[in-house]
């Protein structure tokens, strides 16, 4: 991919929706090595599709790249594009995971969406695709289970 097509290094407006967001792939400098890349978004926001009220999640995205990496600015723009649209927790989590999978075709990808309680109930959503290569360390997400105010 030519550098001129990347969103990196130039002003880019926040996409109005995930459908308008573009994920940029860049060449993996170590395509023959199996290693894990983790993106953490502790302040992900979207809107409840029924009430329009804000929903918040802590996302942890782990992937073992193949020939390409996700360029992080484009990922931030994709995540930000959810801020003003309505989406169920399950839908938002899987859209993000599948968009990354489609953009870079990783050997392995896992997304964990730890959603903050709404109506007294947290909803955690997990999705993965591919097989974790032997010898690759997949650390715990580091997100504690929801315990309320105790």
Q: Which residues are catalytic?
A: 48, 55
Q: Which of 23, 29, 19 is nearest to 66 (CA)?
A: 29
Token pair, residue 35, equals 């290693």
Residues of the chain by 3-state class (helix, strand, coil), percent to 5 = 20, 30, 50
- Rounded to an integer, what is the distance from CA 133 to the centroid of its chain? 20
Cα–Cα distance, 31 to 26 (Å, whole number): 11
Cα–Cα distance, 6 to 70 (Å, whole number): 11
Is the Cα torsion angle 81, 83, 88, 94 positive or negative in sign? positive
> What are the two backbone dihedrals, phi and then psi, of residue 104, each rounded to the nearest 5 degrees?
-120, -10
């Amino acid at each position: 991919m030519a550098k001129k097509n990347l969103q990196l290094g130039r002003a880019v407006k926040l996409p109005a929706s995930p459908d308008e967001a573009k994920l940029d792939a860049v060449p993996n400098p170590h395509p023959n090595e199996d290693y894990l890349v983790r993106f953490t978004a502790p302040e992900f926001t979207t809107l409840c599709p029924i009430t329009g009220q804000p929903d918040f999640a802590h996302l942890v995205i782990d992937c073992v790249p193949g020939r390409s990496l996700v360029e992080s600015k484009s990922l931030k723009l994709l995540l930000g594009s959810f801020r003003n649209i309505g989406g169920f927790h399950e839908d938002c989590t899987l859209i993000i995971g599948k968009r990354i999978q489609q953009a870079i075709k990783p050997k392995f990808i896992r997304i964990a969406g730890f959603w903050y309680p709404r109506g007294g109930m947290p909803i955690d959503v997990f999705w993965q695709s591919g097989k974790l290569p032997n010898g690759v360390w997949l650390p715990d997400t580091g997100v504690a289970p929801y315990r309320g105010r105790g």
